Structure 1
Amino acid sequence: MEACARVLQLVQLTASGRPRLESGEVECQLLDGIDLEEDSGKWALKSGILSLTTHRLLWLDERLMKASAVPLGSIGQVYASKKSLKSMFSTPRLKFQVWTQKDGRVSSQGQDGAAGSIVLSILFKGRTGPDSFVQRFGEVVKAQAWKVNMAPQIRSSLDESVPAGEAGPSSGTANIPRRPPPTKINPAMAGVSGILRKEQEQQEEVDKNMKEAFQDLNGLMSKAKEMVQLAEKMRARLLQGQSAGTDEEGMGTKQEMQDWMLSVGIASPVTKESAGALYHQQLSRQLADFVKDPVQRAGGMLALIDAYCLFNRARGTELISPEDLLTACTVWATIDVPFRLRKFDSGVMVIQSVSQSDEEVFMRLTALVKSGEAAKMGIGATEAARALGMAPALAKEQLLAAESRGILCRDDGADGLRFFHNFFMDISITTLQEGS
C-alpha cells in the first residue's frame, strides 16, 4: 500500500466512505471485486471497488477506508486484450499505460509533463464482466470531460500574449500584450432601453446555455463552465439577499433562489445503471452524506418521509422508490455511518443520529416538566418540539417513549394531551415502609 501511495493520487473520503468528487465530476460505473496492480509486480491493490468517473479511475478499500486515483488525462494507451483459449480460463484484465512524473507519481497533465510511464492492470474478479466497463471506459476517455475546466484557462493565457513573429518586425524577441480592439458605440444599446435590451439578451443567452447543456452528456460537459458560473451568480445573489434586508421583494427573491439551488441537487446521484450490484450499498452511503445537514437542523432526528422527499428532490430525475430508501437505511447497520434507522412503537420511522441518546432527551424533558409553569400545566408536543428543536410529531413520539419508561405521565383532558413529571418514580418503597 505504501508503494502504491508513492505512485497514485490519494483521494479524500466523505464521512460515509464515499470518495469526494471534483467540480463537474460524475460517477459513470461502479464495480466490486477489482484488483489494481502495477504490471511489473511492484505493488497490487486487492479486492476493492473500482469507480469510473468522468475525470478519474478511483479504487476504494472499504475495509481500510482508503482510496487512490488515476487521472484519465494521464492514460496514454489502452491495450486490447487478445481472446484465446487460455484467456477463457483466466481472470479477465484490462491493461493501460499511465504517464508518470520524475518522482514516479502519475502525471495529471498527461504526456506533456511526463518523464516516463508505467503499465497498470485491472483484474475483474467480481460478478460483473469487463465488456460493459471497457465500452463505458472508452466513451468517457473519448469525451475528455476533465479538459472542460482547463480549456478556458489555456485559451485565456494564449490570448494575453502573441508570438514575436506575429507582432511585427519591431517587436524583437519578447512577447507583446495584445491590445484590445477599439470599442464601437452602438446607438441601439444606449439609454434605459439599451440596458433592458442587454439584460434580455443575457437572459436569452442563459436560457440557450441551459437548453444546450441538458441535451446530452457531451453537451453538459461542454457547457460545464457556463453552468458553474451561473450557479455561483445564483449563490452570490442569495447571500446578498440574506444580508440586504427582509422586504417582500427581497424575501421573494431569496425563496426563488432557494428553489433554484434545491433543483440543482446532487451532482452525481447513485443509480442502478452505474452502481449495478453495489446500488443499495452506495445509495446508503450517499444518503448518509446527504442527510447530515437536514438531521442536524431537525434536532438530531428526521422523519423518514421527510428524508424521502428531500433526497428525491435533490436527485432530480433519478428518483428512487420508498423500498430503495428503506433498504438503504437498513444497510447502515452493517457499515460505519453516524446514523441509524429507528422505529417507534406507534410505527413512525425516523433517521436518528447515533450521537443522540434517549437518556439525553429524557433528561431534557424531565428538566422541562419540572420548570416554571410546566410543573403545573404540563407540556404538550408543541412545547417539547420547541425545547428539543424537532418537529412536533417527532417530539410527541419522544414524550410517549418517556412515558413508556415511567419518566412522564399523561393527562388527556380538555386541553389536549399533556405530560407531567411522574412523581411516583421519586418515591422509595423502603422509605415508606420505614415511615410506617
Structure 2
Amino acid sequence: MTTTQQHYSPFDCLVVAEQTPAGLLQKESQEVEVLLVLEIELRASDEPLVPLNEKHHVDVAKSNLPWKDRTPQLMMQLTTHRTVFWSETASKQRQGRYLHHSQLLQLNTESAGGLFQKSPKLILQTAAMGELCLVFGAAKKRDECFSAYQKVVSRRGWETPTLNTIQTAPRRRVGLDALLTSDTRRHEHAAQLAETAFQGDAELLLKEAQGLVQIIQHYVATLERQHEFSNAQDKETQQLVGMLQHMGMTSALTPNDTQLARELTDFVRPHLTAQHPVMTLTDVYCLYNRARATHLLSPDDFRAAAEQCHSLQLGISVATLPSGLVVLQNDQYADPVHLQERLTQLLHDHALASLTALDVSRYWRISAVLAMEQLKLVERSGSWVRDETLESLRFYPNRYFCA
C-alpha cells in the first residue's frame, strides 16, 4: 500500500509484528524462515473484520473507514511459527503483520472451473479470522507455498518445548533432550561467531575466499548463458540452482537485495558507532561472510545489497572516497563536522599537537588507508591543514578556520 489509506483491508486485521531496527522480523525462539514470496494478494470474506492497532487493540479510527476485502502487493514470509505479511509505503517504511500457525484449522488449494486448470489460490481456514485466501501470480509458486505449509503444519515447530521446560536432565543427554541441547549450542555458537567476527583477520578470510569466489563466478556465467537461450530450467539446472542456494551462491538467482540489505544493517550498524562510524566495504564483506559461516555471499550480491541501504533509509550507506576507496558509513556521523570534533578530541586525549595517518590508525584501530582518507576529508573542509616534510605528512587544526 503506497498511498494514503482511505479504507481498511484484511492486512489491517492481523497482529502487528515486532521488527528489528532495520525492519526485519524479530523472530521468536527457535523460529526459522522457510519461504519468502515477493508478491502476493491477501483476501478475506465480504464480511468486515476487526482492525487492530500496534497494541493489539481494536483500531477505532480504521474501523470507521470503508471495508475492502483484499490487500494487494504484499510480501509474504513463511516461518516455522507464523505467516508474516509485509507492506511497504512510498517512503520505504515497512510494516509487518502476522497470522500465527496455531490459528490454522485447515489448508487447501482452490479448485478452478476447468478439469486440468489450477487456480493460483491457497485457502486458509483460521480460528479467529475465518477464511483467508492467498492469491499467487503463478500456480507453480502456489504449489511451492502449499508444500512448505504442509511441512510447517505437520512439524508444529511452535509447540516444540525448550530447554527451560525440561525439569530434570541426565548427565548424558539422549533423545529429544540431546537434539535440543545440540540446537541451542549451535545457535549460541552462531551468535558468538557474529560477535567475534569483528575481531578476526579480514585479510586472511578474503584470501581464503578467492577460490570460492571463482567457483561462484563460473556457475553464475553458466546459468546466465542458459538463461539467454531459454527461460525454462531443466532438472539438472534446477538441481544446480538448489545447490547454489544451499551454499549461499546467489548471484545468478536474482536475490532479494532489499531483504539482504536489512539483514546487513542489523549486523553492522551496532558496530558503526559515533566513535567508529566508517568501515571499508571490503572489511565489512569479509566480516559479514565470516559471521554467515557456510552461507557465503558473492561480492556482487553483497555490493548490490549494501547500495540498497541508503534508498531504504536504514541509516547506513555506501560512499566512494576521492581516492576510490569504497566505505560503508553511518549516515548520522558521516559529516565532516563530526569528524573534526573526533580528531580534535583525539589530540586532547593523547596530548598531541598534530596527527599522522599512523596515529589515527593506531588510536582508532582502522586501516592506515582509511585513516589518511579521514584526515584528507577534514583538510578539504578547511578545518585542518597539512605539513608535508621528508619525515612524515602531519595534519594540524587550522586555528584561523576555528577563529
TM over 0.5: yes
Quick check: 40-49 or 321-330, which moved more?
A: 40-49
Q: Over the residues paired in the alignment, what is the CA RMSD in angstroms?
A: 4.1
| Alpha-carbon distance between aligned partners in 2 of 1:74 and 1:136, rounded to the nearest angstrom | 17
Report the secondary structure of 2:388's partner residue: strand
> For each residue in 1:316-355, what CA deviation from the matched residue of structure 2 results, as whole angstroms up to 9, or x when unmatched?
2110011111111111232120101111111221111110
The residue type equivalent to 1:52 in the other structure is L
| Alpha-carbon distance between aligned partners in 1 of 2:16 and 2:349, rounded to the nearest angstrom | 54
Q: Is residue 74 of structure 2 the alignment partner of residue 119 of structure 1?
A: no
C-alpha displacement of 1:391: 4.9
| Alpha-carbon distance between aligned partners in 1 of 2:350 and 2:153, rounded to the nearest angstrom | 68
C-alpha displacement of 1:278: 5.4
Correspondence for 1:358: 336
The residue type equivalent to 1:17 in the other structure is G
Correspondence for 1:92: 120
Report the secondary structure of 1:420's partner residue: strand
| Alpha-carbon distance between aligned partners in 2 of 1:372 and 1:291, rounded to the nearest angstrom | 29
Segments of structure 2 that go 5 or more residues without pairing to the other structure are: 1-6, 49-68, 198-245
C-alpha displacement of 1:405: 3.0
Report the secondary structure of 2:151's partner residue: helix
- Tell me the TM-score normalized by structure 1: 0.62
| Alpha-carbon distance between aligned partners in 1 of 2:16 and 2:366, rounded to the nearest angstrom | 39
Report the secondary structure of 1:323's partner residue: helix
Q: Is residue 363 of structure 2 the alignment partner of residue 408 of structure 1?
A: no
C-alpha displacement of 1:259: 5.4
| Alpha-carbon distance between aligned partners in 2 of 1:26 and 1:386, rounded to the nearest angstrom | 41
The structure that has the greater radius of gyration is 1
Question: Is the 8 Å Cα contact of residues 80 and 158 (structure 2) preserved in structure 1?
Answer: yes
Change (3 A) 1:389 1:95: same
Correspondence for 2:360: 384
Q: 1:44 aligns with which of 64, 70, 73?
A: 70
Q: 1:227 aligns with which of 182, 185, 191?
A: 182
Correspondence for 1:130: 142
- Tell me the TM-score normalized by structure 2: 0.67
Change (3 A) 1:260 1:32: closer
| Alpha-carbon distance between aligned partners in 1 of 2:189 and 2:148, rounded to the nearest angstrom | 34
Question: Is the 8 Å Cα contact of residues 41 and 134 (structure 2) preserved in structure 1?
Answer: yes
Question: Is the 8 Å Cα contact of residues 281 and 331 (structure 1) preserved in structure 2?
Answer: yes
C-alpha displacement of 1:260: 9.4
| Alpha-carbon distance between aligned partners in 1 of 2:338 and 2:161, rounded to the nearest angstrom | 49
C-alpha displacement of 1:280: 1.4
Q: Is residue 294 of structure 2 the alignment partner of residue 317 of structure 1?
A: yes
> For each residue in 1:47-74, what CA deviation from the matched residue of structure 2 results, as whole angstroms up to 9, or x when unmatched?
1110011111110112252211112232
Q: Is residue 15 of structure 2 the alignment partner of residue 15 of structure 1?
A: no
C-alpha displacement of 1:396: 1.9
Report the secondary structure of 2:273's partner residue: helix
| Alpha-carbon distance between aligned partners in 2 of 1:230 and 1:418, rounded to the nearest angstrom | 50
Report the secondary structure of 1:78's partner residue: strand
C-alpha displacement of 1:369: 6.1
| Alpha-carbon distance between aligned partners in 1 of 2:44 and 2:177, rounded to the nearest angstrom | 34
Question: Is the 8 Å Cα contact of residues 369 and 420 (structure 1) preserved in structure 2?
Answer: no
C-alpha displacement of 1:297: 8.1
Quick check: 387-396 or 415-424, which moved more?
A: 387-396
Change (3 A) 1:259 1:335: closer
| Alpha-carbon distance between aligned partners in 2 of 1:371 and 1:148, rounded to the nearest angstrom | 53
Correspondence for 1:79: 108
Count of paired positions: 323
| Alpha-carbon distance between aligned partners in 2 of 1:85 and 1:93, rounded to the nearest angstrom | 15
Report the secondary structure of 1:313's partner residue: helix
Correspondence for 1:66: 95
Change (3 A) 1:16 1:152: closer
Following superposition of structure 1 onto structure 2, how do residues 244-255 of structure 1 map, counting pairs within 5 Å? none
Q: 2:270 aligns with which of 287, 293, 309?
A: 293
| Alpha-carbon distance between aligned partners in 1 of 2:247 and 2:86, rounded to the nearest angstrom | 16
Change (3 A) 1:224 1:289: farther
Question: Is the 8 Å Cα contact of residues 382 and 401 (structure 2) preserved in structure 1?
Answer: yes
The residue type equivalent to 1:25 in the other structure is E
> For each residue in 1:177-200, what CA deviation from the matched residue of structure 2 results, as whole angstroms up to 9, or x when unmatched?
xxxxxxxxxxxxxxxxxxxxx9xx
Q: Is residue 34 of structure 2 the alignment partner of residue 28 of structure 1?
A: yes
Question: Is the 8 Å Cα contact of residues 18 and 286 (structure 1) preserved in structure 2?
Answer: yes
Change (3 A) 1:372 1:37: closer
Q: 1:149 aligns with which of 161, 185, 189?
A: 161
| Alpha-carbon distance between aligned partners in 2 of 1:227 and 1:372, rounded to the nearest angstrom | 48
Correspondence for 1:55: 81
Report the secondary structure of 1:291's partner residue: helix
Segments of structure 1 that go 5 or more residues without pairing to the other structure are: 105-117, 160-197, 210-220, 236-256, 264-268, 428-436
